Structure 1
Amino acid sequence: MYALIRFVFLAGVLALVPDAPAQVQLGSDVLAANGFKELQGKRVGLITNPSGVNRSGESTIDLLRRAPEVKLVALFGPEHGLYGDMKAGVPIPERMDRRTGLPVHSLYGATRKPAPASLKGLDALVYDLQDTGVRSYTFISTMGLAMEACAEAGVEFVVLDRPNPLAGERVEGPMVDDRFRSFVGQWNIPYTYGMTCGELARMINGEGWIKKPCKLTVIPMKGWRRTMVWRDTGLRWVPTSPNVPRADSPLYYAATGLFGELAGGSGANIGTRLKRPFECVIAPWLDANRMSAAMSRFGLRGISFPTFSVTHEGQRLHGALLKIGDPVHASLVAVNFYLLDGIEKASGRDLFAEAMKRKKDFQMFDKVCGTDEIRRQLKAGKSAAEVVESWKAGEEAFRLPRQKYLLYTDAAVTRSAPVEDHKSPPVMETKPEAAVESRPAPPPIATNSAPPSLPSVIILVSKGDSAAKIAQDFGISASDIAEANPGVNLNRLKVGQKLKIPRTQAK
């Protein structure tokens, strides 16, 4: 009896111990594990920066230089440069890399698209950059324009896939109006789009967003699931740029970047001049207690707003920190506009009206929003809740075409048709014909076949339920629920509504 009690006690204790993060294998790891088969016998160029490392921390530059039968002949640097040490918006010149002796072609200087001369003699251009999952971060613009250049030059484009640090289900924010398309809003996707760079590359190619589809090869990851934020991957974060120094920085960038663009000139600071980029909202004229209380009253899920005061350059600044406690489920993009409402409640100051009085140039704000509709709503006095509601239809319209380009589910397998050759590496290739064709996707990463299906179950939505919460409860993804319930708006679930829940044996 004692032994049984002791066993039950130990089992209970072990159940409370959190699982160690699983270490995801990046596209570069999978490429190397397969002996660089996709690049053998080829002269290649590489778009990268310090974030382009494998799970052991080895740079992709060094990885390709020592790869058998692969000839790395050119490097390409995005915004912030090949070494990631340049400030945002600073043009970068062409140069030679002293360490490798290779030419470094700038994709953030005289041109933002590889020039034909830089691609001459290449068989493939490899892309390995860690993105933030936010549309205004320019790496995904660089990727798509490089795909277009490769299509025109007849060069294969190879993406070494990487995690989206915001996880793979976060679809939030306004879509891009064609009139406001720019390098900070190149593709018609929401502000956070819930895709890896490899998945987005497939969508750019397949939806005809570039002049001509390129020959695209995506080397998928192993072990990544859509509900994983960076801390769940077991991977070390390498700063992607000076203001994105930590693994959770992309979360805060999504939550305050738009606000920072609008509030510039007001004296409000979002921490980019401190060692907390995007993690706070402070100003000499704010009261920390009032700001914290105002933001807390909104009841934003997964985020708290403790008081914060600091002395910077001899000036005392007060306000609130952002603490994202639930990075998977917190609504991030909405925070940008609740901050405006919170400041008005805490201080009586309408930052948008003040910007109008100062005759602020809203051109960049409109570009990062992808539209002038947000500015028009603010001008009309719309609340944060009304602004957020206005982009919901765009989010839903995006989810449907996005679905067919996804490579991963929460079971860490690809969404795919049967595979022709299970011995081949996990590669997704898109051929440059008028009707874009895809080679069958790779086999499941964990097993050689999908888990056997169980009958779906029907549930009734309860108070407090959301698609994300239901998905988590059943060990599936929100995408699985969307697929099983066509025509149902998962963002507007009602108590008592019926939902079909797909299940598999593994779950």
Structure 2
Amino acid sequence: MKTEGFRKRRGVVGMRRSAILLVGLAAACSAVRAEPVKLGVDVLREENFAAIEGRRIGLVVNPASVDSSLRPTAEILRETDRCKLVALFGPEHGVYGDEYAGVKVADRTDARTGLKIYSLYGSTRKPTSEMLKGLDALVFDLQDIGSRSYTYISSMRVCLLACAEAGIEFIVLDRPNPLGGRRIEGPPHVEKGFESFVSAMDVPYLHGMTMGELARSVRAREAPAYQKLRVVPMTGWRRDMVWGDTGLAWLPTSPHIPKAETCAAYAATGILGELGPISVGVGYTLPFEVVGAPGVNPEALARAMQEFWSTPKAYAQGALAERERFPQGARCPDGLRFLPKRFKPFYASFKDQPCGGVQIVIDPRRAGTLVEINFRLMEALGAPKFFTQSSVGEKTMFDKVCGSGAPRRRLAEGRDLEPMFQEWRTACAEFAEIRKPWLLYGE
């Protein structure tokens, strides 16, 4: 009996040791998975600013240009004695991030540091030779949101081309694509005649690339002789990471991108938001996360999008509101939820007017094709009216953001969207192969 008791005790001890070992192994594996993401600016500092040593530099920044501990890049470069920070350059919304979308920003002088601030969203969007005079390098450190129409990648492009013309270095401090590095979606090309600052690069609407990778594509496609591009890459970032996987804090990249989750919402509703008879939450507390207008039935629209994803015209035809038999259709993809929502914008479209619509909840790791949501919502709400009730300027901007007039024509004519979506998917799969030489973080 004593032997039996000893064996039992020894067995218990053994199991405890095994459990402790397993916990330890799990913790070790977790530690490996949780390798911190270091931004380009973090790596630059760790390497003792070797990439910019002894250089007079200009710096393209805004309030989201910080290191992983939230210290501003401008402050870091101003305080080091390894380089000389000469001037700041500001994109759309300005160096301070306090200007409204589309508003021209003037040059100024920073009151605290005395540094000259050149606007790249004012009288010019491309740095002039006078702005670059006396610089050895232009350093670019802006956080993108992953959508082609967000103008920071356009600013990067013209900065690179200006540096190529001036014969100076262009240095990109790389940052994550908040939607991850594998999501390639939406209108795949910018057609001739539709180039603009919201469609300056011929890449899919969601390109799945970082700013540094996009810079490599610009150099390869538009300035192949230019040999002074340098990308300071991140460490610890992988293509399967969305922002929530990075462990980094999000700072607003512009007034209506207040949190990381807004990046996916912008992809889902930003194109739709260019048109007149709809609010996408700009002017409310949930920019790009809600879609609606006066007179919309929230419950019916939510049901149309949630349960009849492939046939959302059920709402436009009144079938849902009248509780008639619904046309057959597939449910929306996992990772997407459409919730009934009533809201009243504080400014912008439908200011102070009660609106009905939906709130879109997105899991960026799982959700299907985000960009298609723009067009499925338009179909559900009666696509033709979006163009009959929009101004010429709004329709022009819609085309520019799409990079083509074809989506507008198809929607206005009430034609089936699925063939267009399939064309996009095929072209995006082709782009996944085209972009491989420019990638820095595997496939």
Q: TM-score, normalised by structure 1?
A: 0.75
Where does residue 407 of structure 2 map in the other structure? 374
SS of alignment partner, residue 334 of structure 1: helix
Residue 286 of structure 1 deviates from its aligned partner by 1.1
What is the distance in 2 between the residues matched to 1:138 and 1:295? 30
What is the distance in 2 between the residues matched to 1:225 and 1:277? 28
Go from structure 1 to structure 2 and tell me whether the alpha carbon gap of 1:139 and 1:214 turns closer, same or farther (over 3 Å shift): farther
* Structure 2 residue 366 is the aligned partner of structure 1 residue 333: no
What is the distance in 2 between the residues matched to 1:364 and 1:389? 24
Where does residue 448 of structure 1 map in the other structure? none
What is the distance in 2 between the residues matched to 1:224 and 1:173? 24
Residue 155 of structure 1 deviates from its aligned partner by 0.8
What is the distance in 1 between the residues matched to 2:17 and 2:419? 54
Q: Which amino acid aligns with 2:436?
A: Q
SS of alignment partner, residue 57 of structure 2: strand
Residue 168 of structure 1 deviates from its aligned partner by 0.5
Go from structure 1 to structure 2 and tell me whether the alpha carbon gap of 1:358 and 1:125 turns closer, same or farther (over 3 Å shift): closer
SS of alignment partner, residue 270 of structure 2: helix
Residue deviations 1:315-348 (CA, integer Å, cap 9, x gap): 33222111113435532111111111233xxxxx
What is the distance in 1 between the residues matched to 2:182 and 2:150? 18
Contact 1:304 1:324 in 2 (8 A): yes
Where does residue 281 of structure 2 map in the other structure? 271
What is the distance in 2 between the residues matched to 1:8 and 1:155? 60
What is the distance in 2 between the residues matched to 1:29 and 1:354? 46
Residue 238 of structure 1 deviates from its aligned partner by 0.9
What is the distance in 1 between the residues matched to 2:26 and 2:272? 41
Where does residue 179 of structure 1 map in the other structure? 193
Residue deviations 1:232-260 (CA, integer Å, cap 9, x gap): 11111111000000011111100100111
What is the distance in 1 between the residues matched to 2:175 and 2:401? 23
Residue 6 of structure 1 deviates from its aligned partner by 5.5
Q: Which amino acid aligns with 2:422?
A: E
* Structure 2 residue 105 is the aligned partner of structure 1 residue 92: yes
SS of alignment partner, residue 192 of structure 1: coil
What is the distance in 2 between the residues matched to 1:14 and 1:308? 46
* Structure 2 residue 175 is the aligned partner of structure 1 residue 162: yes
Residue deviations 1:260-299 (CA, integer Å, cap 9, x gap): 113x2x1x22111111000011222111111111000212
Where does residue 234 of structure 1 map in the other structure? 247
Where does residue 70 of structure 2 map in the other structure? 57
Residue 135 of structure 1 deviates from its aligned partner by 0.5
SS of alignment partner, residue 356 of structure 2: strand
Percent identical pairs in the alignment equals: 44
Where does residue 244 of structure 1 map in the other structure? 257
* Structure 2 residue 150 is the aligned partner of structure 1 residue 137: yes
Contact 1:292 1:305 in 2 (8 A): yes
Residue 69 of structure 1 deviates from its aligned partner by 2.5
Specify which of 374, 385, 399 is matched with residue 353 of structure 1: 385
* Structure 2 residue 212 is the aligned partner of structure 1 residue 202: no
Where does residue 356 of structure 2 map in the other structure? 318
Specify which of 385, 389, 393 is matched with residue 422 of structure 2: 389
Q: Which amino acid aligns with 2:419?
A: E
Where does residue 302 of structure 1 map in the other structure? 335
Residue deviations 1:126-170 (CA, integer Å, cap 9, x gap): 000001111000011111101111111111000000000110011
Residue 358 of structure 1 deviates from its aligned partner by 5.6
Contact 1:22 1:232 in 2 (8 A): no
What is the distance in 2 between the residues matched to 1:354 and 1:221? 42
Which structure has the larger Rg? 2
How many matched pairs? 400
Go from structure 1 to structure 2 and tell me whether the alpha carbon gap of 1:47 and 1:295 turns closer, same or farther (over 3 Å shift): same
* Structure 2 residue 236 is the aligned partner of structure 1 residue 223: yes
* Structure 2 residue 423 is the aligned partner of structure 1 residue 403: no
Residue deviations 1:438-481 (CA, integer Å, cap 9, x gap): xxxxxxxxxxxxxxxxxxxxxxxxxxxxxxxxxxxxxxxxx4xx
Q: Which shows bigger deviation, 42-51 or 355-364?
A: 355-364
Where does residue 475 of structure 1 map in the other structure? none
Residue deviations 1:1-30 (CA, integer Å, cap 9, x gap): 444566777859997998885431000000
1:99-118, aligned counterparts within 5 Å? 99-118=112-131
What is the distance in 1 between the residues matched to 2:369 and 2:24? 33
Q: Which amino acid aligns with 1:342?
A: A
What is the distance in 2 between the residues matched to 1:405 and 1:334? 26
Residue 374 of structure 1 deviates from its aligned partner by 1.0
Contact 1:160 1:220 in 2 (8 A): yes
Go from structure 1 to structure 2 and tell me whether the alpha carbon gap of 1:277 and 1:327 turns closer, same or farther (over 3 Å shift): farther
RMSD: 2.3
Contact 2:43 2:233 in 1 (8 A): yes
Where does residue 207 of structure 2 map in the other structure? 193
Q: Which has the higher strand share?
A: 1
What is the distance in 1 between the residues matched to 2:357 and 2:46? 49
What is the distance in 1 between the residues matched to 2:18 and 2:136? 61
SS of alignment partner, residue 320 of structure 1: strand
Go from structure 1 to structure 2 and tell me whether the alpha carbon gap of 1:6 and 1:336 turns closer, same or farther (over 3 Å shift): farther
Where does residue 504 of structure 1 map in the other structure? none
Contact 1:141 1:184 in 2 (8 A): yes
Go from structure 1 to structure 2 and tell me whether the alpha carbon gap of 1:124 and 1:390 turns closer, same or farther (over 3 Å shift): same
What is the distance in 2 between the residues matched to 1:212 and 1:370? 27
Specify which of 286, 295, 313 is matched with residue 285 of structure 1: 295
SS of alignment partner, residue 163 of structure 2: helix
What is the distance in 1 between the residues matched to 2:390 and 2:41? 49
Go from structure 1 to structure 2 and tell me whether the alpha carbon gap of 1:123 and 1:50 turns closer, same or farther (over 3 Å shift): same
Go from structure 1 to structure 2 and tell me whether the alpha carbon gap of 1:363 and 1:214 turns closer, same or farther (over 3 Å shift): farther
Q: Which amino acid aligns with 1:205?
A: R
Go from structure 1 to structure 2 and tell me whether the alpha carbon gap of 1:156 and 1:385 turns closer, same or farther (over 3 Å shift): same
What is the distance in 2 between the residues matched to 1:384 and 1:121? 53
Go from structure 1 to structure 2 and tell me whether the alpha carbon gap of 1:96 and 1:357 turns closer, same or farther (over 3 Å shift): closer
Q: Which has the higher helix share?
A: 2
